[in-house]
Structure 1
Amino acid sequence: MNGARWAAAHFGERLGVIEPGAPADLVLVDYRPATEFSERTLFAHLASGFARSPVSGVMVSGEIVMDNGTLVALDEAEVVARARECAARVWSRA
């Protein structure tokens, strides 16, 4: 049983499909390989190039949260400010 079918059986969702009404969590990556991209070279691309490419889009539960590299569902400045506050509290304990 593949992962999508296992998750669907345990969580009761139609997972592993891209179609209207299905839950949709997608990450779009701006990957432009300079070398051949094929089944034969897929692992090398995943291991070395794809993982270092910028994320250009994200969809969570069918809602677009990042479009063309820009967060649209969150205030990025607010997220950064909160992260800095949290980090300061953590570092103050060290």
Structure 2
Amino acid sequence: FKNNDALLEEIQRERGRELLGEFQRKFDLVRWGIWYQMTYEYTNYPTLKDNMLPCHEYYPIPDKEVVYSGGALDNKAYNEYGM
């Protein structure tokens, strides 16, 4: 590979072929920071596109756990969308 970007792209594609339809696939996409982009671009379901937001990359942290952590644990991305 001529550069690191090309190598990373090939690794991402290979992992996609290996894990097609498996639960771990989302964790790979989240780890690489491309979950929203890839899911949105490659779905043909209008309902999913209408309801999917970038904040859905991570699950919301329950209020009880946020309080226990003293506010250290919080997914502020949901606030941007009024959730």
- With the shorter chain as reference, the TM-score category is under 0.3
Structure with the higher strand share, 1 or 2: 1
Q: Which of 1 and 2 has higher RCO (CA within 8 Å, sep 6+)? A: 1
What TM-score results when the alignment is normalised by the length of structure 1? Answer: 0.25
